[in-house]
Amino acid sequence: MSKSEIRSLKDKVQGAVGLTVDQVDQAAVLLRRVFAGMPEPKGRNDLVGQILHAIDVCLPGWTIQLTGKAQEPDGHWRCSLRETRGSDEIEVIGIGTGRVVEVALLEALLHVAEQKATV
């Protein structure tokens, strides 16, 4: 569960125009080391849906906030993942930004995984 491996992939994904199959597969392997229930990727179809499902499985009960401005050819998306609690204390938060929604979502999930990784 190397934090440096997760950080390296997060840095590669950040600012990308889109995700490659290799990046999605590598993310699944790294995320599975932190979140045992991480689902297997299902190709390039519906990456947004796949990543939302992964967040739902890996971070049940967390709040997903996605904001953006759709602009051609690239949008400006920001995703935050927050642990939903009764108090104002938030221990872990995931932040991601991207030109496309799936990059922002994956970067935020990788950010949480990096914080939760033990090494």
Domain at 98, CATH number: 3.30.160
Number of domains in the chain: 1
Length of the chain: 119
Least confident of 77-81, 106-110, 115-119: 115-119
Q: DSSP string covering 23-37, please? A: HHHHHHHHHHHH-TT
- Using the CB atoms, write b or e for 2-31: b if 16+ within 10 Å: eeebbeebbeebbebeebeeebbebbeebb
Domain extent at residue 12: 3-116
What pLDDT does residue 39 have? 92
What does the pLDDT look like over 31-83, one tens digit per residue? 999 999 999 988 778 899 999 999 999 999 999 999 998 777 777 899 999 98
Q: Tokens standing for 104?
A: 């922002």
